[in-house]
Amino acid sequence: MEKENKWEYDYSSLYNNSSDYGGTGYANVGSSGNNAANQYDASGAGGSQPPCTPEYKPVPDPGQPPKKKHRRISAGRILRTIVSLVLAAAVGFAGGYVGSMVGDNHKLVIQAADRTEQLNNALAGTTSTGGDNLDSAQVAALVTPSVVPITTEEVVYSSWSWFGQRQIQSGAGSGVIISDDGYILTCAHVVEGADDISVQVGDTDYAAQIIGADSDSDIAVIKIDAEGLTPAVVGDSNALVIGEEVMAVGNPLGTLSGTVTNGIVSALNRNIAVQNNDGSVNRLSVIQTNASISPGNSGGGLFNMAGELVGIVNAKSGASQAEGIGFAIPISNAIAIAQDLLENGYVSGRPYLGITYITVADEATAQQLGVSAYGIYIVEVSAGSGAAQAGLEPGDRIVSIDGQEIAARDDVSAIIDGHATGDVISITVARDGQMLTVSATLGEQTPNN
């Protein structure tokens, strides 16, 4: 039986001293909120997840738990958790593209950017390698002004305290400035669930608010009250080739902001599956790189040697025997998500069936639910959804969709995600010992469903 590779998220918990490594030699790593590092799964050699220990600080109990500032999760997404990406910033020369915010609906416009003066400053005192590409020092000088460290705090309740003591769990990631007036692109898992978000620009700390977040793609846009910032210049991730030199920039370990590491594009269109803590899976097509990626790089970025942002660093290998395996979301995908979040408040055009479902894979669970067969069972049908109109009911066991057998929970989302809003799909379910096939029209996933 093949083992599975484990790819870890790059969000870092803050720590005070070396004892927070727990004697393991690993830095703290985990997703925002529970600090438990989710993993990417793929066929091949196995790996392990570095242990993690969050930093906790007791805080007075005001009497009422604070209200979490995060978006509503729909029933159709209950079984999905956050995909961890990492977004980065870049500044390029004349002819690149930079985002600007216009209008009352936060519309993001990608326009030509003239960075000639900044390029000249980067070139000053260095030797040009010739051609369109720069050397590492020049690229670093161009891109680092747009990459910022992000720290978060979330109020949690101690599970080991008799009195339910309230504590603060803090963590760190990175972000990319996408407008000169304070809009920043980062990972949804860095900021989701956070009660307080802080961004450091130079020597100044700014409070940030979430403008939009999408857990499926792990993209979020936050805003700070600042002017005159250096926004990133966006490159063309579709123009990348295997073997091309790239640079990763981020905030490893939550304390080393502005760190740059070099590597190459190891592979393109690498399909990986995000294995979440609840067993659900999200699938991504990513850039693979051997540039060093560490916890805290979430929100950092991958740049070409023209100083342009081409990818969003999102994961690294968790196997102790694996080195130089990191992944990045192509910037063309990330920018499209950001534009949707800014203009609509959510990612438009995603298909929505309207069911919540679970896996029954053992006798104890089957007995608890009162079912006799293993499989994928519907536990909730959203009112007014395509599933409800098709007559699907809680307790139905999903046998197939569009003629494809459903053997695992992520099979359902994989098939649905391959469709468009308005498509009609055929669903066969087992109910009361009989097979029933219905047709359901897919709606659009919005914050209201």
Q: Which residues are catalytic?
A: 189, 218, 298
In DSSP terms, which residues pair with 351 in a beta bridge? Answer: 444
How far, in Å, CA of 410 to CA of 160, rounded? Answer: 34
Contact 449, 352 (CB under 8 A): yes
Q: CA–CA distance from 219 to each of 84, 367, 414 (Å)?
A: 8, 39, 20
